[in-house]
Amino acid sequence: MEKIKLVFPEVETEKFEFNGQKIEVDKFASPSQERAIADYAIQTSEGENELIDEDSLPTVASYSKFEYGFIGGVLATMTNIDLDDLNIDSVVSSGLWGEIKSSISNYFDLAVAVEKVYNLRKQETNLESKLNKLIDNVGEFVENISKMDWSPENLKLIIEQLGIGKEKLAEVFPDGVVSKSNQTSTTS
- Read off φ and ψ for residue 13, nearest 5 degrees: -120, 145
- Are the C-beta atoms of residues 106 and 26 closer than 8 Å to each other? no
In residues, how long is the chain? Answer: 188
Q: pLDDT digit string (tens) for 137-155?
A: 777 877 777 777 778 888 8
- Are the C-beta atoms of residues 23 and 81 closer than 8 Å to each other? yes
3-state secondary structure of 166: helix
Neighbours of 137 (CB within 10 A): 10
Cα 188 to Cα 177: distance, rounded to the nearest angstrom: 16
Any bridge partners for residue 22, and if so which? 17
Output the pLDDT for position 174: 79
Q: For residue 155, give the amino acid letter.
A: L
CA angle 135, 139, 145 (to 5 degrees): 140
Output the pLDDT for position 179: 46
Output the pLDDT for position 143: 78
Q: pLDDT digit string (tens) for 48-58?
A: 544 444 454 44
Cα 76 to Cα 33: distance, rounded to the nearest angstrom: 10
DSSP string across 47-79: S--TTS-TTS-HHHHHHHHHHHHHHHHHHHHHB
Q: Which residue from 120, 113, 122 is spatially nearest to 31, judged by alpha carbons?
A: 113
Output the pLDDT for position 136: 76
Given a cut of 50, the residues of the chain with pLDDT beneath it are: 49-54, 56-61, 178-181, 185-188
What's the whole-model pTM score? 0.61
What is the number of alpha carbons within 13 Å of residue 55 lying toward its C-beta? 0
Q: Which residue from 72, 75, 53, 76 is spatially nearest to 64, judged by alpha carbons?
A: 53
Cα 150 to Cα 179: distance, rounded to the nearest angstrom: 28
